[in-house]
């Protein structure tokens, strides 16, 4: 079962993942606030940290956040990426009381779109030619998960 694959552990300033790279122009992982926190994705069986992720609050009043994650390349296809996204969604809804969680990917990232779908997110919008990567314009896909009562 996917829920048994990973657990999330809050990053500390000593962790290499604490100061993450930029995500859509924002530096992530530096905030001391729980909603801006960076989380290590840890394999339950081995205890090995295989990446990080988090939730960036976009709207505190409406309780909307953007999900991000980065995992080691060797985790592709293992179910760990889906488990990590599900764990972040669970954290957002159950512990942080968010109402909506968004996640973006490019049209070329078919594997990430499938991860979001398998994690229970739905495609909400496609923005044509909205991101330029290395001189080529790409469509951006917006996936969302909403709190269910």
Three-state secondary structure call for residue 113: helix
User: How many CA atoms are closer than 13 Å to the CA of 105, on its beta-carbon side?
Assistant: 21
- pLDDT at residue 65, as a whole number: 92
Intervals of the chain under pLDDT 50 = 18-26, 28-34
- pLDDT at residue 9, as a whole number: 83
Domains of the chain (ranges; CATH) run: 2-146 (3.40.630.30)
Q: How far apart are CA 82 and CA 101, in angstroms?
A: 15
- pTM (two decimals): 0.82
């Amino acid at each position: 079962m996917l829920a048994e694959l990973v657990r999330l552990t809050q990053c500390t300033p000593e962790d290499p993942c604490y100061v993450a790279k930029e995500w859509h122009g924002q530096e992530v992982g530096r905030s001391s606030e729980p909603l801006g926190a960076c989380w290590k994705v840890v394999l339950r069986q081995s205890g090995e940290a295989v990446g990080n992720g988090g939730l960036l609050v976009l709207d505190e009043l409406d309780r909307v956040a953007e999900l991000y994650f980065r995992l080691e390349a060797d985790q592709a296809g293992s179910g760990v990426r889906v488990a990590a996204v599900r764990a972040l969604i669970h954290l957002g809804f159950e512990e942080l009381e968010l109402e909506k969680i968004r996640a973006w990917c490019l049209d070329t990232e078919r594997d990430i779109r499938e991860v979001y779908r398998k994690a229970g997110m739905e495609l909400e919008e496609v923005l044509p030619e909205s991101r330029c990567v290395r001189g080529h314009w790409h469509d951006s896909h917006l996936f969302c998960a909403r709190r269910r009562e």
